[in-house]
Chains A and B, each alone.
Chain A
Amino acid sequence: MLSRLHSQPLPTVAVLAAVLVPASVAMIFFYAPVDQDGLNQKIFYFHVPIALTAYICFGWGGWKALLVLWKRNERADLESYVAIHQGVIFGALTLVTGSIWARFRWGHWWEWSEDQLVLFLVLFLFYAAYFMLRFSVEPGPRRTNLSAVYALCGVALIPVSVLAIRLSQRFIHPVAFDKGGPNMAASQFVTFLVSWAALLSLAATLYHVELAGKRLDVRLRELREVLS
């Protein structure tokens, strides 16, 4: 299974996503109990895994950027770009699903005094600006190096954003995990883990599909240059 995942990742993660996504939705609505937060708490099972997946995508993009600078791995540049693209999509989904949750619970879409929200927005905007930088430079080693350095700088914001709840003074944002472990029932925690696995496999599927498309595009461009 692991060797197959390494050699042919796309079919494996796509099958995993096809199984886990419907399973997680079924568990959220038919297995996990409704707690004191009411039905609105069901958003948590997708909102938090989406946010964690966004962090992982940004981290993966940073790791690939490090490989570009350290090992001079040319292929890693495209991988870093695609990972950050995925991170921005999942980041946007985090902000939207969080805002929908907040609108019902807090009565407004956004809370500027909440450190965790603002720091996540900063992280999202930082990586959104990555594309402006990347596409303002001509393709070549300069663009590869600048993109890699920028992607790597953003990694420093990830732990700050994750630990923002510790820095926060107001604690309006619910705390699902603290030093004592998860603040939820076992069935809720299992549902959360299945949802996270579903979102991770979905992100991995989209990552490999996009990467395959981008690589094919590069190969076709090279072929066109040879033939013309």
Chain B
Amino acid sequence: MSTEAKYVAAAYLVVFLVVLVYVAIMATKLVRLERELAELAELARRRQEEEPKQEAVAVG
């Protein structure tokens, strides 16, 4: 590979790597958000279980 070709390859590789790193960071964030959402769903479910059940009252 000529020196010129190496510089061209380096330029394209840099662009590819930056996009790849960006996507990897986004994927990590998505995993964190998924975990937080699961925690909140669990918290909401526990809250619902702890609340005393209201009895149905006939109206009228």
A101 engages B36 (CB within 8 Å): no
Interface string of B6-46 (1 = CB under 8 A from A): 01101110110011001000100110010011001001100
Contact (Cβ within 8 A) B8 A97: no
**Is B3 interfacial (CB-CB < 8 Å)?**
yes
Are A224 and B4 closer than 8 Å at their CB atoms?
no
Question: How many chain B residues touch A (Cβ–Cβ < 8 Å)?
Answer: 24
B2 is an interface residue with CB less than 8 A from chain A: yes
State which of B5, B19, B36, B40 has its C-beta within 8 Å of the C-beta of A39. B5
Q: How far is the CA of A25 from the CA of B2 in the complex (A)?
A: 20
Question: Is A104 located at the chain interface by the 8 A CB criterion?
Answer: yes
Looking at chain B's contact residues, the main secondary structure is helix
User: How far does the Cβ of A188 sit from chain B's closest Cβ, in whole Å?
Assistant: 15
Q: Is the CB of A46 within 8 A of B11?
A: yes
Cβ contacts A to B, 30 pairs, < 8 Å? A25-B12, A38-B4, A39-B2, A40-B7, A43-B11, A46-B12, A47-B11, A50-B15, A89-B18, A96-B14, A97-B15, A100-B7, A101-B11, A103-B7, A104-B3, A202-B19, A206-B22, A210-B26, A213-B29, A213-B30, A213-B33, A217-B33, A220-B33, A220-B36, A220-B37, A223-B40, A224-B40, A227-B40, A227-B43, A227-B47
Partner-A contacts on B (CB < 8 A)? 2-5, 7-8, 10-12, 14-15, 18-19, 22, 26, 29-30, 33, 36-37, 40, 43-44, 47
Given A104-B7, A206-B26, A209-B26: 11 more A-B contacts, CB < 8 Å: A40-B4, A43-B11, A46-B15, A93-B15, A96-B14, A100-B14, A101-B7, A206-B19, A213-B29, A220-B33, A227-B44
